[in-house]
Amino acid sequence: MKPPNFLYAAPRSLDEALTLAATHGSDAMILAGGQSLVAAMNSRYAAPGVLIDLNRVCELSFIHREDDRLHIGAMTRHRALEFSREALEAEPLLARVACEIGPLAIRNRGTIGGSIAHAHPAAEWPLLAVTLDAHLTLRSASQSRSIAAREFFIGPFRNAANDDEILTEISFPTARSGSRFGFRELSRRPSDLPIVAVACRISLNESGECCAATLAVGGADEVPRHIGAVEQILIGTRGESSVLREAADLAAKAITPRNDVHASASYRRRMVAVITRRSLEDAFGVAGDSV
């Protein structure tokens, strides 16, 4: 099957792209890497009247650090983040996650902005944006606004951007001194979208106690879920087994898992507990059991 007829636009500047988005509104769709959108068009799940291709808008591809924030252009490729020295030094979790995204062909072509805007509940970049409380910049022809990633995802494949807005930048806080991360995902095959994924970051004080933490779950719910209650359990601990099990059980209870062809809701809930505990064990640097 092939897509129905559509108009194709390939702007060479952000201003030109924003003008096109304002002109065509809900009739237009934005093409970034195209790894998901083109497949959806071919199967006619998506049928834009106008396709606005951002691949010639070079100003949307960048990685630079400014004070305590790492700014990433929406058209930055997964592969660029996988090997960026500046990104690695600012937030090592970015490179860790980037290397898990699909096969090499996908990482070469796909973009961080395209993945976040697509809002797949199991995708890695939306999960990481929620975990690290990233800020997203949305631009229209008339204004620019910033929105927290934790408010951006409103349902499967649905986000809070208006029809005339384009996601242009993602801003992550840089990792604090003494911080560590954990990231685990469960998938049927390497490079598949995960059935369940968990990302976390903790900070330890000089005595080795946790003084700050953040954790989110992807794949198990309609959107990536930030589990704030887990963080309160971890503060003041050293990664004791009983604490991590309590945190993992709480994460599993905080989600509303779904049934689909990949896994049942009960299996997803059980795996959230398992993957959460293992992610926290990685972050604290403690050995866990095999269950």
pLDDT tens readout for residues 95-120: 999 999 999 999 999 999 999 999 99
Mean pLDDT calculated for residue range 168-189:
95
Percent of the chain's residues with pLDDT above 90: 91
Amino acid at 112: I
Ramachandran assignment for 239, one of left (phi > 0), alpha (psi -120 to 50 degrees), beta (any other): left
Q: Measuring CA to CA, which residue among 152, 167, 157, 71 is closest to residue 114?
A: 167
- Report pLDDT for 258: 87
pLDDT at 197: 97
DSSP string of the chain? --PPP-EEE--SSHHHHHHHHHHHGGGEEEESS-TTHHHHHHTTS---SEEEE-TT-GGG--EEEETTEEEEETT-BHHHHHH-HHHHHH-HHHHHHHTTSSSHHHHHH-BHHHHHHHT-TT-HHHHHHHHTT-EEEEE-SS-EEEEEHHHHEEETTEES--TT-EEEEEEEEPPPTTEEEEEEEE-SSTTSPPSEEEEEEEEE-TTS-EEEEEEEEESSSSS-EE-HHHHHHHTT----HHHHHHHHHHHHHH------SS--HHHHHHHHHHHHHHHHHHHHT------
For 136, the token pair is 């997203």
Q: Please tell me the predicted confidence (pLDDT) of residue 290.
A: 47
pLDDT tens, position by position, 51-93: 999 999 999 999 999 999 999 999 999 999 999 999 999 999 9
- pLDDT averaged over the chain? 95
Top pLDDT among 182 and 288 is at 182
Residue 289 has pLDDT above 70, yes or no: no
Q: Tell me the pTM.
A: 0.95
Rounded CA separation 221/141 (Å):
34
Local confidence band at 155 (pLDDT 50, 70, 90 cut-offs): very high
Count the residues in the chain: 291
User: In the structure, what pLDDT confidence band is assigned to residue 177 with cuts at 50, 70 and 90?
Assistant: confident
Go through the domains of the chain in sequence order and give each one's CATH number. Answer: 7-53 (3.30.43.10), 58-173 (3.30.465.10), 179-284 (3.30.390.50)
